[in-house]
Amino acid sequence: MTEPYKHKAVPALDVFKPDLFKDKVVFVTGGGSGICYGVTETLMRFGAKAAIVGRKAERLRAAAQQLERDTKSKAIATPGDVRKIETIQHAVKQTLDAFGKIDFVICGAAGNFMAPIEGLSSNAFRAVVEIDLIGTFNTVRATMEEVKKNHGSYVHISATLHYSGLPWQSAASSAKAGIDAFSAALAVELGPFGVRSNCIAPGLIAGTEGADRLVPQGQEEMAQGFIPMQRIGQKEDIANAAVFLFSEAASWVTGQILVVDGGSVHFRGPFLPYPDAVMDTQSFKSLFPGSKM
């Protein structure tokens, strides 16, 4: 039997010119870890300077220092909570004081956990929506005048959760659907100012909190088997998509959602046993240690 072929993740520097983002400044929420850290690192390797935003100041400062060491470009930590616009406005001021402008914005701060609707409190649902959706709005409102000046670009980190009625993911699905709609409206309103807005919808990405929470323990190989490209995604895959969307090659691309998931959205395997997982939620709690019931 022929083994399935697996494409490897390709570093962006193998494809794009090295000084692609020289003198550009990127403002990144959620930039202290995960996918957004990986995207920031890649943009900095192309010459961009970065301001990363997150709630945990010490971890953020350590991340900024590591980014500088690894890329030889400049990064600053600008602590803030996307749920509070005044803290994001302060982070924007810090960025302008350090770098003088903002060209690109990545809206990537996110919160999520596994929970059936019956296990969600109003506060828990609100928390996810506030971080993901309200946080995106606050980030855009705090940065848009600067981005307009530089005819810049927004990339919002969305998801594919809401493309179907995915059990145990109602809060994140609702928030990400809102982000997709908001990005489209932003593209229309700011297009005449030379500003573009697009979403990247990652699939399952290795080494992220999302992968750790959403894949049942011990089921990593099964999850990979349901991906047409036969591998779990890497942070480089999302970084490459961001490089394209921020580059001049995408100058006529706005209001779009770029799904980067190895084809998973077209061939979804069983995320949870159905209908068992909704009829008897407690029986599956052990598969997701961080879930709420």
The pLDDT assigned to 211 comes to: 63
Predicted model pTM: 0.90
Cross-strand partners of 26:
50, 104
> Mind listing the pLDDT tens digit of every residue in the chain (293 residues)?
677 887 788 888 788 999 999 999 999 999 999 999 999 999 999 999 999 999 999 999 999 999 999 999 999 999 999 999 999 999 999 999 999 999 999 999 998 888 899 989 999 999 999 999 999 999 999 999 999 999 999 999 999 999 999 888 999 999 999 999 999 999 999 999 999 999 999 999 987 776 666 666 666 677 777 888 888 899 999 999 999 999 999 999 999 999 999 999 998 755 666 777 777 777 666 665 555 65
Q: How far apart are CA 266 and CA 192, in angstroms?
A: 34
Task: Give the pairing type, strands 104-107 and 75-77.
Answer: unpaired
3-state secondary structure of 283: helix
3-state secondary structure of 162: helix
Whether 83 and 135 have beta carbons less than 8 Å apart is answered as yes
Q: Say how many CA atoms lie within 13 Å of 58 toward its Cβ.
A: 0
Instruction: Provide the annotated active-site residues.
Output: 158, 176
Q: How far apart are CA 137 and CA 125, in angstroms?
A: 17
**Residue where the block lists tokens 């019956």:** 118
How many other C-beta atoms lie within 10 A of the C-beta of residue 257? 16
Whether 281 and 291 have beta carbons less than 8 Å apart is answered as no
Domains in the chain, CATH or no CATH each: 12-263+272-287 (3.40.50.720)
The pLDDT assigned to 114 comes to: 84
- 3-state helix, strand, coil split of the chain in percent (to 5) is 50, 15, 40
Of 135, 125, 109, nearest to 172 by C-alpha is 125
Q: If you write DSSP's letter for every residue of 102-142 in order, what string do you get?
A: --EEEE-------B-GGG--HHHHHHHHIIIIIHHHHHHHH
The pLDDT assigned to 290 comes to: 57
